[in-house]
Chain A
Amino acid sequence: VEFKENNLPIVIEAQKLSYNDSEKVAIYTGNVIAQRGNTVMKGDKLTVYFDKTGKFIEKIEVTGNVYIEDPRGKGWCDKLTYYPVQEKLVLEGNAKLQQDKNTVLGDRIVAYKEGRILVEGIKQKVKTVIYPEGKVGESFRP
């Protein structure tokens, strides 16, 4: 997942927005689409948590029909959390990442900045499907 250009702005479109400046939280609902560079996140609800100063994004949470895509892969899960500072992505609940035909499934998938991926099986076992001709060495790098 390509988040390297993180000085790019995040553009979010939705049906409705509720922003609370006291709590520094913005809640988007209704066909939410968030885009930063080549990375697109979609879901029913997206919540942005700013830090106390309101200048930095602490985390972004997406729930409901979650889908994430970038030029190298796609992902689905029940809940997606993105930490811009650490450039880390956490997919929770029926998490699935797919790169070309190769797929990895688990209860929780964490994709780190340097491309490392951690897959955890809590309720279900981790499952990986790799097609030999696929480029095994290539992995996701947020």
Chain B
Amino acid sequence: MKEAIYKIAAFLAIVSILPFVIFMARRESPPEKFHVETHKKQLIKNFTLESKGEKRSWVLRAPEAVFEGNKEIILKFPELELLEKERVLIHAESAIYNQETEELFLENVSIESENLSGKTRTGTYSTSKGVFVTHDTCEVTLKNRFTVEGKECILDLKNKRVIIQSKVKSILREEGK
């Protein structure tokens, strides 16, 4: 009888220690790894960025640029100079350049070239495609005194084409007449 009681007591003793042992064992496993996004903010004065490749096709300049994370660059009063067949200058009050998509989102934009000048509130220029797109109202004046305004404008600066997709109104003045 004594023996049985002794066995039960030993069993109970072991069972009572078990949770403690499990707890102690669990605690030692390393904490789960999870990714904390760290934002590197870097301010650069007199910022310049050029197109890659042998032939330089564009240069992006700004008096001030802030690197936001590793993708975006926030620019103040940027100037984008295009060096294709015809030199084109794009100015804005502010812009965000996405290094991954190679797109420049601009605000309060003006575009100037020998044959064309244009302005709009916001728009995106793709440095890889050489095309400027806006969903706002835009106004474009061509050297030949051909002024046009409308919405949803596409300026294919590489191929010197202007496409306006809605609400077109244009005024054609002939030179010297």
Contact = CB atoms under 8 A, between A and B. Distances in A.
Contacts of A21: 115-116, 142, 160-162
A41 to B, nearest CB: 13
Given A11-B170, A12-B169, A12-B172, A54 B160 contact: no
A40 B81 CA distance: 42
Contacts of B41: none
A114 interface: no
Interface stretch (B53-61, B122-130, B145-153): B145-153
A53 B145 CA distance: 12
A9 interface: yes
A7 B171 contact: no
Interface in A27-53: 28, 48, 50, 53
Nearest to B156: A20
Contacts of A6: 174, 177
Interface in B119-177: 142-146, 148, 150, 159-177
B168 A17 contact: yes
Interface residues of A, number: 27
Contacts of A22: 159-161
Contacts of B173: 9
Contacts, number: 83
Nearest to B113: A21
A10 B174 CA distance: 9
Contacts of B159: 20, 22
B131 to A, nearest CB: 14
B161 A16 contact: no
A19 interface: yes
B171 A28 contact: no
Given A11-B170, A26-B146, A17 B162 contact: yes
B116 to A, nearest CB: 7
B174 A84 contact: yes
A83 interface: no
Contacts of A55: 144-145, 174-176
A18 interface: yes
A15 interface: yes
A18 B161 contact: yes
A56 interface: yes
A24 B142 CA distance: 11
Interface of B: 115-116, 142-146, 148, 150, 159-177
Given A17-B168, A18-B163, A22-B160, 15 more contacts: A9-B173, A12-B168, A12-B171, A13-B170, A15-B165, A15-B167, A17-B163, A17-B164, A20-B159, A21-B116, A48-B172, A50-B144, A55-B145, A55-B175, A84-B174
Interface of A: 6-7, 9-22, 24, 26, 28, 48, 50, 53-57, 84
